[in-house]
Amino acid sequence: MGLVVKDVGKKIECLSYLDIGPSELVTEKHFSKKKIKGKPVDYRLKIRLAQVKPVQIELLQPKEFLENRGEGICHLGFFVKNIDK
């Protein structure tokens, strides 16, 4: 489950009180000279992962996305035995 949050560090701290974790900082990237929908972009993204039994929570902190849309669910992913079916 991917969640967009304002501050990955603070959100992980809150989740740890609910026994969610441990977590790890996966990456902090600066994307420049990239294109999205044909337009050049320049943005920073922090990603932190936490495990809750079989569910992996991916916390994303994309500054520009937050400014335009706020916090919330970004994506869901599922493992399947046969993706073709």
Whole-number pLDDT of residue 71: 92
* Confidence (pTM): 0.68
Ordered strands of the 39-52 beta sheet: 23-36, 39-52, 55-62, 2-4, 72-75
Q: What is the pLDDT of residue 40?
A: 82
* Per-domain boundaries in the chain: 2-75
25: nearest Cα among 58, 3, 48: 48
pLDDT value of position 15: 75
Architecture of the domain made up of 2-75: Roll (3.10)
Residues of the chain with pLDDT under 70: 17, 21-27
Residues 6+ positions from 70 with CB-CB distance below 8 Å: 4
